[in-house]
Every structure is written in structure tokens, then in C-alpha cells.
Chains A and B, each alone.
Chain A
Amino acid sequence: MRNHVRTLREERGLSQSALGDALGVSRQTINSIETGKYDPSLPLAFTIARYFGRTIEEIFDDQDN
């Protein structure tokens, strides 16, 4: 699943580690989400969306194109 987590994180000048700490997950998990290797659970997706002040649909895209 594609997502805009990396863009949103970089816009805020956050490191993966800092974002991980804020969301309660590891830096490796943030990296896996950003690279599309891991799709977060619904609770974590909501946490990410709330953190960035967006909706889940604005951050995660289940369509490849």
C-alpha cells in the first residue's frame, strides 16, 4: 500500500526515530511503513493520521496508480 508518511514526516523535519517515538513504534517500523514493506494496523493508521492532522485516506492509498 502506498502512503505519504515520508513526505509528511520530512515536511515537519522529523527523523524516523523521532516519529517512531511520537507514535510509540520503533524506527524500523516507521521505515518499513514508508517503504511500503509493512502495512500498519488500523489503530496505528488512525494514530498516524491524527498525528499529522489528516484522514487515513489522505495518507494511505490502496490503489497503485
Chain B
Amino acid sequence: MTKTTDKSKAPSAIGIATGALSGAVTCAILAIIAYSAGNDSFGKGIVQGGTIGIAVMVTLLIIARTRYATAEARVVSGRADERENQVALRSASIGFVVMYAAAIVCTFLYTFGIEAEAAFAIIMFSGLIAALASFAILVRRG
């Protein structure tokens, strides 16, 4: 049947602290991995900055759920109801279509000398940004 959205539980200080700490550790690990890969190209910069940026954003959303209970936070934390899950699925579909289009564009750009890392980053982040933006719009439209 329908999935329960349990918003009755008050956030505990330990829960918030644990979320913040685990998020900070995740971001630090990602930053270390990214730095070890070097920072000598435009493409690596996009991959590293984008990855860390998204990790920070997801961490903030998870922390925010305890106070604001947004649809984004419920989806990330697995507490979304059927409408939010449906919107998330549609948003993911939009993201994949955008990634496909970006892949076609980047294939052409690659023949004109664009870096492989930059092409990869453009494909990956265009899809992620499209999915996140479409979710934010669709979930508020109803």
C-alpha cells in the first residue's frame, strides 16, 4: 500500500550531528581522491568541483530533512510518498534524455579537440543538473 511519511519524530541532536559528520567525511574523502587525481586540466576541474558540489548539496539536503521535511530530502532519505517517487522517476528520465543529447553534442565536440575529461563531465553533470532542476520544478507544480 502507500508508503508512510513519518514526520512526527523530532530530530535529535545526535542524528543531526551524525548526518553532518558523515557528510563532512564523505566530502573530505571525495576531495582527497579528486586532489590525488591532479588538477592540471579543465576537465578534471569540472569533475572534481561538480562531484564535491553535489556531495555537499546532498549532505545539506539530508541534514535539512530533519527540520524542513522537503520533498527533495524525503526522496534522498527514502521517505518519499508515491507522488514524490513518481516525480523523481520522471526527473531521472529527463536527466537521462539530457545526458543522451549531451553525449551526441560532446561526440561532435570531441572531434574538434575537446578534452575527454571535459566531455565526460559535461555529459554527467548536464544530466544531474537537469534531473535535479526538473524535480524541483515538477514537485512544486503538483
**If A29-B81, A29-B83, A41-B82 touch, does A23 touch B2 (CB 8 Å cutoff)?**
yes
A54 beta carbon closer than 8 Å to chain B: no
Task: Please determine whether A25 and B1 come into contact, CB atoms closer than 8 angstroms.
Answer: no
List the A side residues contacting B1 at CB < 8 Å: 43-44, 46-47
**If A23-B2, A43-B2, A47-B2 touch, does A38 touch B83 (CB 8 Å cutoff)?**
yes
Size class of A's contact patch? Answer: 10 to 19
A15 beta carbon closer than 8 Å to chain B: no
Query: A-side binding surface: helix, strand, loop or mixed?
Result: helix
Task: Please determine whether A40 and B82 come into contact, CB atoms closer than 8 angstroms.
Answer: yes
Task: Please determine whether A25 and B83 come into contact, CB atoms closer than 8 angstroms.
Answer: yes
Quick one: CB contact mask for B33-49 with A, threshold 8 Å, 1 for yes? 00000000000000000
12 cross-chain CB contacts under 8 A:
A20-B5, A24-B4, A25-B2, A25-B5, A26-B69, A26-B71, A26-B83, A28-B71, A28-B83, A29-B83, A43-B1, A43-B2
